[in-house]
Amino acid sequence: MLSSSHSHKPAFRHLLAGDWLTIILSTIIIAYLFQTLWSHEHAAKVQIRIGNKIHAAYDLNQQRDIIVPGPIGDAMIHIRQGKVRFAKSPCHNQYCVHQGWLTHSGQVAICLPNQISLELIGAQKPYDSLNY
């Protein structure tokens, strides 16, 4: 049936039943990969790093202002019920402040002059099980 319905299209006459199976299964696997690896779930925690050291991790489900001491001064970080941002920073460019609120897991805000970075983490990292 497959070959007869496609006999009019020369490009597809080489496709056998198993090839269709491969293509359909591959598409399903790719859709699953997109869903699991690109999931934009709301973050549960924020991890604050100074340089390459983890300074602290906070639950996002609270209202709290944190002062983080960086190499060039203190940065103020606001946590407001599921979102987080740099509120004040001693750096020159203020890129980190202008980046605004972060809400989804995987999002990152980095203040290079002050070596402070925020990384949002979901309930669990979706790619924890992939261990290359």
Partner 1 sequence: MQIQTNIDDHRIAKLAAFAIALHMIEAVVPSPLPGVKPGIANIVTLYVLLQYDFATAAWVSILRVFASSLLLGQFMSPAFALSLSGALLSLSMLWAAQHLPRRYFSAITLSILAAFAHIAGQLIVVRLWLIPHASVAYLIPIFAVAALFFGFINGLITAKLLYNKTQLPESDQPAPPLP
Residues that bind partner 1 (CB under 8 A): 3, 7, 11, 13-19, 21-23, 26-27, 29-30, 33-34, 37-38, 106, 125-127, 130, 132
Looking at the Cβ atoms of 30 and 54, the one nearer to partner 1 is 30
Identify the three-state secondary structure at position 54: strand
With CA atoms as reference, report the closest residue to 111 among 55, 33, 32. 55
Looking at the Cβ atoms of 2 and 67, the one nearer to partner 1 is 2
Structure tokens at 29: 């696997």
Minimum CB separation from partner 1 for residue 53, in Å? Answer: 16
d(CA 100, CA 30): 32
Helix (H) or strand (E) holding 23: helix 17-37
Minimum CB separation from partner 1 for residue 65, in Å? Answer: 29
Looking at the Cβ atoms of 19 and 74, the one nearer to partner 1 is 19
Minimum CB separation from partner 1 for residue 9, in Å? Answer: 11
Residues with Cβ within 8 Å of residue 132, at least 6 apart in sequence = none
